A and B are shown apart, each in its own frame.
Chain A
Amino acid sequence: MGEELKLTRRSILAGAAAAGAFVQAASAPAQAQAVMSKATAADVAKLPRIKAKLVDPPFVQAHEQIATGGPKVVEFEMTIREKKIVLDDAGTETFAFTFNGTVPGPLMVVHEGDYVELTLINAETNELLHNIDFHSSTGALGGGALTEVNPGERVVLRWKATRPGVFVYHCAPPGMVPWHVTSGMNGAIMVLPRDGLKDGQGKALKYDKVYYVGEQDFYVPRDENGNFKRYASPGEAHEDVLKAMRTLTPTHVVFNGKVGGLTGKNAMTTKVGETVLIVHSQANRDTRPHLIGGHGDYVWATGKFRNPPERDLETWFIPGGCAGAALYTFLQPGIYAYVNHNLIEAFELGAAGHFKVEGEWNDDLMKQVRGAAGI
């Protein structure tokens, strides 16, 4: 490693003629070095600026997989909204704290070396102070100490995306962190390598589609009869919710804000032959994604793209407070369930989504040789 770092830019270029594996090994730290080098405020002021257009999950802002040009300042704007949401078909309600109005907040996308410049607005109608902690940023509690905003205020934070991967961001207000995080106040950011995803052996990996699944555990208090309680305001609910949280037993574990957030009319769609990147975050609790009837072709379970992806996984483990990414090319048509493979959480508490996949059936991969009939 030390030797590699001594290579000059010219010797790396010369080395490009040598074995591909060598180039891969040598260029990665060289680029990291470039990203880590300190730019002055004047340098940053000269960088091109672009405005990112965030969209609601499971969809993801339009972006390039391989960056064109050098680093940029990417401007984001998110408004925090406190709102009552319905968690299931039974009409169970809870107060959610949201980045941009959704649980989870939107998936932000930049490239390694870009600057994220976020304008964070705390809507006037809100009751509470909020802030944001980016796991992908460096310093000030992930930016939390520099972004505390009261209702009716805005704050602007800039930080440099130095590590490629998918990372969680969440609200972390003093004294109330878990309450805010388990009220839905989290999301993820994807920092892509400038030259796109690789399989760990130099081969480029591309996706036709990307979906963002945000998993959330909720702790809704119950009354003495076991029925879920309703409250007039978040403040009124606070004490009871804390008690429910301290049981460490969620009442709901859901994808994208509610039971059925990614099923039925909200199911994710793709086609046989399409490659899908599934970014999955859980800001609070461990999860183990599994695609029923499919696999993870390339999986970064802990979500950091400088590590080689694992191949052919059945289930992958994402620890609480982490985002992961899985790449899969669909090979058969049909309905796939994408679940947290703690199946109680999937089917009793809500952590399940669906993919609808069109295309031709492959008899070679699977065939019912004899239909079920009497013995």
Chain B
Amino acid sequence: MATTLRFSLPGLTTSLGLLFMAGAAALLLAAPVRRPAAPTFPLPQTAIVPAVTMLHRLDGEYSRAGRPVDPPRVAINIREPLEIMRYQVSAADYARCVAEGACRRLDKPAPRGDLPVTGVSHSDAADYAAWLSRETGAAWRLPTDREWAHAAGSRLIDDARGLDADAYNPARRWLADYEREANRKAASDPAPRRVGSFGANEHGVYDIAGNVWEWTQTCLRRVAQDAAGRTTSESSNCGIYIVEGQHRAPMTFFIRNPKAGGCSVATPPDNLGFRLVRERSWRDRLPANFSRLLPA
């Protein structure tokens, strides 16, 4: 095939350029058309969380000179606003995806549609995001751990354990974790409540750190540092993702209902659910006066 094409270089660039221009124009015109004329699925309500510089406890398992320590808390500059669902995806929303054959059936669907969907794995959440993107013509995906923390705002719970790298008694950390999680469990009722029940934060995002933990797309990282705090190795396990809520927990991607498992004696999240962020498209990045000129 390649041998039969004998374009000169200038000719090739010209044609490619033309092709791109045509493609761009087509996209521009096609974009509004691709959105369903009468959307069968209502666009999820979203909140815009403004750009911010925030102090953030990094995700991951950190060790210093071979001993476990809390991850560092660092200033992070988030330059762009974040568009995220106001509410966790509801059982009714998820049921539509199941009805259309795009999401897997749940083991125990919620008895009411206005409850947040729970008993979902990372894979289920990813399937839903792909389906919703097709339905709405917008790009939806799970938030990163950092984005989740950004959206959580003042509701974010810093679950640092106050680990002292100098005192070598690994049991202190185990006991501290256990105590914290036991207290949390004793204080909370695990039965999911109607979406919105846990109230909104300052950004109008509801139910942050209620009793449904949320999947993120951040893989579990393990970071080894030397005594001076320089990173000596970092590895990442994308079979395990961070779930966020009242505490951060690493969770295997296919788990739908977390349990205290194996020799681990931790208290697991009450429920697993999710909410999605809407990827900003190139249109959102244009200056406002220019984007007004584009077809709606």
Contact = CB atoms under 8 A, between A and B. Distances in A.
Given A89-B190, A265-B182, A334-B175, A360 B169 contact: yes
B170 A361 contact: yes
Given A265-B186, A334-B175, A374 B233 contact: yes
Looking at chain B's contact residues, the main secondary structure is mixed
Given A264-B186, A267-B182, A354-B265, A347 B171 contact: no
Interface stretch (B15-23, B95-103, B145-153, B255-263): B255-263
Nearest 9 interchain pairs by C-beta: A333-B171, A264-B182, A334-B171, A373-B224, A374-B233, A371-B66, A361-B169, A374-B235, A335-B265
Contacts, number: 80
A372 B222 contact: yes
A374 B174 contact: no
Contact of B175 (A333, A337, A360, A372): A333
Contact of A373 (B168, B171, B222): B222
Nearest to B267: A264
B182 A347 contact: no
Contact of B260 (A332, A347, A356, A372): A347
Q: Chain B contact residues (Cβ within 8 angstroms of A): what range?
A: 35 or more
B234 interface: yes
Contact of A368 (B66, B172, B178, B260): B66
B38 interface: no
A246 interface: no
Most A-side CB within 10 Å, residue of B179, B183, B263: B263
B74 interface: no
Interface string B245-264: 00000000000000111110
A227 B109 CA distance: 11
B66 A332 contact: no
Nearest to B268: A89
A361 B171 contact: yes
B171 A357 contact: yes
B193 to A, nearest CB: 14
A203 interface: no
A212 B182 CA distance: 21
A315 to B, nearest CB: 14
A343 B174 CA distance: 22
A356 B178 CA distance: 9
B192 to A, nearest CB: 11
B289 interface: no
B67 interface: yes
A100 B99 CA distance: 50
Interface string A340-364: 0001000110001010111111010
A292 B224 contact: no
Contact of A337 (B169, B182, B235, B263): B263
Contact of B191 (A91, A334, A336, A359): A91
A370 interface: yes
Contacts of A293: 263
A358 B175 contact: yes
5 contacts: A263-B182, A263-B267, A264-B181, A264-B185, A373-B222
Interface of B: 63, 66-68, 108, 168-172, 174-175, 178-179, 181-183, 185-186, 190-191, 222, 224, 232-235, 259-263, 265, 267, 270
Given A335-B171, A347-B261, A373-B224, 18 more contacts: A89-B190, A89-B270, A91-B191, A227-B108, A263-B267, A264-B186, A333-B175, A335-B174, A335-B175, A335-B178, A336-B265, A357-B171, A358-B175, A360-B169, A361-B171, A371-B67, A374-B222, A374-B233
A81 to B, nearest CB: 25
Interface string A305-342: 00000000000000000000000000011111100000
Given A371-B67, A372-B222, A374-B233, A333 B169 contact: yes
Nearest to B257: A90
Contacts of B185: 264-265
Contacts of A265: 182-183, 185-186
B271 to A, nearest CB: 10
Nearest to A352: B260
Most B-side CB within 10 Å, residue of A332, A334, A343: A334
B168 A363 contact: yes
Interface in A74-109: 89, 91
Contacts of A352: 260
A373 B233 contact: yes
Nearest to B191: A91
A87 to B, nearest CB: 14
